Structure 1
Amino acid sequence: MCGRFDQNDIARRYVAAFGWADAVYDSAARPTFNAAPGTYRPVLHLVDGKLHVDDLHWGYRASWAADKLPVSVNARLEKLTNNYWGRLLKNGRAVVPASGWYEWTGAKGKRQPWHIHRKDREPLFMLALADFRPLRDDNPENKAESGFVLVTADAEGGMVDVHDRRPVVLNAADAATWLDPDLPREQAEMLARQMALGPEAFEWHRVSTEVNYAGRDGEHLVVPLPDDDATDEDKA
């Protein structure tokens, strides 16, 4: 899964890396090295052919499921066409730009965070599903009704050593296709399966356990730990 990500650049630079000359910016979120579920983060989506950047709540639960299901922060790629996610796959495709994401290894109480990023250090375009409808006036506190989730898939290659799931990341051109509302949802799901960047596109390193605490921030969170801080298990 993906429980934190690094979105440390401003939205305009992510849009430039996406390859679009312009966008409508309705985002006031500040860059962060430690984006956590429950916060509002910039996401990209298309409205009448125009790229929009909006701040959405990270976490989604359908209004009818308030007393039935927990809030989700990820959606499994293999379940995107089911009844729960199918509507968002058709009408709520989005992209979350980022510089990296975090995963954890180790036993409970001794969890070691890892920062995962592209080898070329280019931005990531993580696939997401979102409900862009405004919150109902009769239930303004249920932020998850108008939230987003990241799409995840099984990890491959060496990435399995860090975690068994990963966000689905596409290059900019394929991510733009994912956003196209004219793309049928079955083809969107196939695009995510076939064009996701593989483990060879990424690298990762251990970082400070300060990442474990929501609200901690700063560039120091992504600095690699020196080798002499590695555990015996890491060195094996």
Structure 2
Amino acid sequence: MCGRFAQYQGMADYLRELNSEQEVIGGYDNLPIERYNVAPQTNVQLLHAEGGGLTIAAVRWGWAPHWAMKGKMPAPINARAETVASGKFFKQIWPYRALVAADGWYEWVKDETDPKHKQPYFIRLRSGEPMFFAAIGQLPHAGSEIGEDDGFVIITADAQGGMLDIHDRRPVVLPADLAREWIDPNTTSQRAEQIVQELGLQSEAFEWYQVSKAVGNVKNTGAALIGPTRQALIDRRRDAPVSCDWREAARSSHSKP
């Protein structure tokens, strides 16, 4: 599943990558978001189309229909691409598509040296550019307050499992052109289903490296969380599989015009 991610650049950086011709309704705060450990059930900056423009709002990550909220379990944060369009649970919000702009996400795998604690990895695009998760939700209208029942879920796929764990699931990450099509109100339900089931970016587009287990605690939020561990740096020098200049990635989010 996708249970933790990073969203640390300014909204202008994400909009630049999206390259949409639509205007943003109501404007937005362009200060760096600086969230390196976004956790479920917290409010997250979300993009969706409305009234011929784009709306940006902080919406709770997690949603469930009223009939499913009888227990004390937290609202689901993910929806399966294979069933999201046809299943009963998310039927109400399937037409309301959105994007989560992100800089990467975390996956955990078994640590052979420490069986009691899994090892987290940070996953990002090889290009170093922002990415867009496909999402759906009960979304606020432009200019209105966030409702108590508003929320969203990230759509996940398991075509090849997670990046590191074949039993895991990954968020559906869309390139800019498909991200724009995903939130376009004119995109049909059938086409939207095809996008999330077949057209998400594949593993070749990504790179990953070990990060500190501190990311497992939601109270830890600093930029150091996306920094590579000593082992990741050793692996990099030996095999050079990925670029791990996390400090530059974090700095660039503050310095872009």
The TM-score bracket by the shorter chain reads 0.7 to 0.9
Q: CA RMSD in A?
A: 2.6
Structure 2 matches for 1:1-150, cutoff 5 A?
1-20=1-20, 22-24=23-25, 25=27, 30-67=33-70, 70-81=74-85, 82-90=87-95, 92-106=96-110, 109-133=116-140, 143=148, 145-150=149-154
Report the residue type matching 2:132 in the other structure: F
TM-score of the two chains, using structure 2 as the length reference: 0.79
Instruction: Please give the alpha-carbon distance, in whole angstroms, between the structure 1 residues aligned to 2:50 and 2:32.
Output: 20
Counterpart amino acid of residue 13 in structure 1? D
Distance 1:55 1:156, change over 3 A: same
Q: How much does 1:16 deviate?
A: 1.5
Equivalent-residue separation in structure 1 for 2:221 and 2:205 (angstroms): 26
**Displacement of 1:3 after TM fit?**
0.6
Structure with greater proportional strand content? 1
The alpha-carbon deviation at position 62 of structure 1 amounts to 1.3
Residue in structure 2 matching 1:181, options 185, 189, 193: 185
- CA 1:20 to 1:106, structure 2 compared with 1: closer, same or farther past 3 Å? same
Please report how far the alpha carbon of residue 191 of structure 1 lies from its aligned counterpart in structure 2 after TM superposition.
Answer: 1.4
Shift of 1:23: 1.5
Tell me how far apart the structure 1 counterparts of residues 151 and 121 of structure 2 sit (CA, whole Å): 26
Per-residue CA deviations over 1:100-134 (Å, capped at 9, x if unaligned) read 00111116731111100000111110000110158
Deviation of 1:17 (Å)? 1.3
- Deviation at 1:163? 5.6
Matched AA of 2:10: I
SS in 2 for 1:115: strand
Change in CA separation of 1:155 and 1:209 when aligned onto 2, cut-off 3 Å: farther
Q: CA deviation at 1:35?
A: 0.5
Q: SS at the partner of 1:89?
A: coil
Residue in 2 aligned with 1:137?
A: none
> Between Structure 1 and Structure 2, how many residues are aligned?
223
- How far apart are residue 229 of structure 1 and its match? 8.9
Q: Which moved more, 1:109-118 or 1:59-68?
A: 59-68
Q: Which residue of 2 aligns with 1:138?
A: none
Q: Report if the CA contact (8 A) 1:99-1:123 is conserved.
A: yes
Percentage identity across paired residues of the two chains: 35
**Equivalent AA in structure 1 for residue 84 of structure 2:** L
Alignment-mate amino acid for residue 17 of structure 2:
A
> Residue 155 of structure 1 contacts residue 164 of structure 1 at CA under 8 Å; is this kept in 2?
no
Question: What one-letter code is carried by the residue in structure 2 that aligns with 1:194?
Answer: E
Look up the equivalent residue of 1:88 and give its one-letter code: I
Kindly indicate which of the two structures has a greater share of residues assigned to helix: 1
- Give the whole-Å Cα distance in 2 for the aligned partners of 1:49 and 1:222: 36
- d(CA) in 1 for partners of 2:75, 2:165: 27
Unaligned 5+ segments in structure 1 are 135-141, 231-236
* Matching of residue 212 in structure 1 with residue 235 in structure 2: no
Report if the CA contact (8 A) 1:57-1:147 is conserved: yes
Query: 1:20 is aligned with what amino acid?
Result: S
